[in-house]
Every structure is written in structure tokens, then in C-alpha cells.
Amino acid sequence: MTEGQPRGRRKVQTVSVRAIVLTGFGINCDNETQSALKRAGAAAERIHLNDIIDDVSRLDAYHIFAVPGGFSFGDDIASGKILANRLRYKLGDALRKWIDDGKLMIAICNGFQVLVKMGILPLFDGEFARVTTLTHNDSGRFENRWVHLKTDPATRCVWLKGVEGLPLPVRHGEGKFVPQDDAVLRRLQADGQVVLRYVKPDGSPAAGVFPWNPNGAIDDIAGVCDPEGRILGLMPHPEAFVDRTNHPTWTRSALPDEGAGLQLFRNAVEYARTNLV
């Protein structure tokens, strides 16, 4: 202690909301997702899938679980399928407890493919059941472009509180959302589980028209949530637009300093701080 410095207890800052960001086996957007959660106020850690499997109890210390984008297991068989099976059979009970405890999840791009093929989304009647899928883009190629999105007014998704529309990038070859049948689609719509749709730049429906709907998704669906709105799956990348310089027109457009995607993570951290800690 230097001369003249006041004596007393040193003030220590703590961050109460903790987020776990899955990594390993081809996941490659984990650093960006971790950074977005940190900027939103969470203590976010990247943890390898094998380390979670080795000690499932470590999940108890966290409030937000993120499955980032990438190419898990090289997208062999189908995008996200192998990781979905690994999660289902190695961590199925632990993730069931996570959901029952009222915690939050976000699954982005490949992560969305994983949760859909694992059956966590849309979680009708609380059951893990595969009633939707994400399949090959109608264009027949990988699409890497910015899209416009609109939030469904009926959504109860906590991640999208106060978010009406936003631009985000997509980077996928299998992003076409397809429900099992018309009954599943109607239920998703009626229950407010369709949270994001692709739209044209003026906000009007994309109506399946390329490139506004980049993959041919049914009903222009870009994201869905569980019935309680705590688990969000979406194809576009919110972690890729957290700063104005992320946007391709940042040098010639009047954009806010904060990218629109960061609000999703801020919403999640605020919800967790209010309800889970």
C-alpha cells in the first residue's frame, strides 16, 4: 500500500450471469459467440463438449447455454446430425434438467440444426421429438449473404424482447426450415413459436423469393423458439453483428455504434439476472 492510500476492504466486482459456449468438433463461431455474451454482461466460457460429458455437474453453475455455428463433425450425414446424436445420448438427461430448471439456450446456424435434429426444438408438450428439419437450400449452394429479418408480433421469446426487425448475415448450405406437416406449421404459428421471418428490405414478406429468403424456408421461417420462449434457434448469426463495423455498409451508412445482434444477448443476460440468479 502506498503512503496516503486509504485503508479498507478492496472492492471486488462480480458478474452473476454465467454462460457456457459449446466448442469442439468443427464448431467455429464459438469465439464470436463468447465475445457477444461478454459484451452483453455475462461471464462466458468456451468449454469443449468432451469436458462437459466428463463432468456433467459443471452445467449447474451456468444460466445460458449457447450452441454456436460452424460445421460440427464436417456436416457428415447431414448438418448437425452427428453432434445432435452425441448431445442426445451423452447429455440428454442433463439438457432435460437444464430446460426444466428454466434456463436459457441459444442455437445459431449449425447449432439450430443440432437442436432441431436432436428434437429439443420446437419442444411441443415438453417432449424431445423431431417434427421439423433444416435441409438443403433451394439454390443448391452455400449462401453467404446479409438478410433482413422481422420478429413475429406474437412471439414470447425472451431473446427478442423489444426487437422488431434487424439485418444479420447467413452462412449455410442447409438452412431451409421444413415442418413435418401442415399441422406442425399451424401449431408453431398459433403458439407464437415462429419468432423470426425473412423479409424484403422494406419489411414486406419475402414470400419465398430469393435472395430475400436465402434458402426457401417454409413460411420464410428464420428462427423458432420453445413454447416458453427461453430456447431460441435461428439460422442467421446475431453474434456476427455486435458492432457497426461488422456491417458491410458501415463506411457509408449512418449506423448505431452497437450492432443490432447484440440486443439478443443483452435480453438474455437481463432475463437471467432477473429470474435465475
Tell me whether residue 212 is exposed, middle or buried, using C-beta atoms within 10 angstroms of its C-beta: 0 to 12, 13 to 18, 19 or more.
middle
Determine whether 29 is an active site residue.
Answer: no
3-class DSSP string for 147-209: EEEEECCCCCCHHHCCCCEEEEEEEECCCEEEECCHHHHHHHHHCCCEEEEEECCCCCECCCC
Beta bridge partners of 224: 194, 233
CA distances from 244 to 4, 136, 199, 223, 255 (A): 44, 31, 21, 23, 6
Q: Which of 29, 109, 157, 225 is catalytic?
A: 109
Three-state DSSP class for residue 41: coil
Q: Distance between the two ends of the chain, CA-based, in angstroms?
A: 35
Find the catalytic residue in 148, 157, 239, 247: 239
Give the whole-angstrom CA distance, residue 58 versus residue 225. 25
Alpha-carbon distance 226 to 121, whole Å?
A: 6
For residue 3, indicate whether it is catalytic. no
Told to judge if 225 belongs to the known catalytic residues of this protein, a careful annotator would answer: no
Residues in Cβ contact with 12 at an 8 Å cutoff, skipping those fewer than 6 apart: none
Q: Which residues carry out catalysis? A: 109, 237, 239
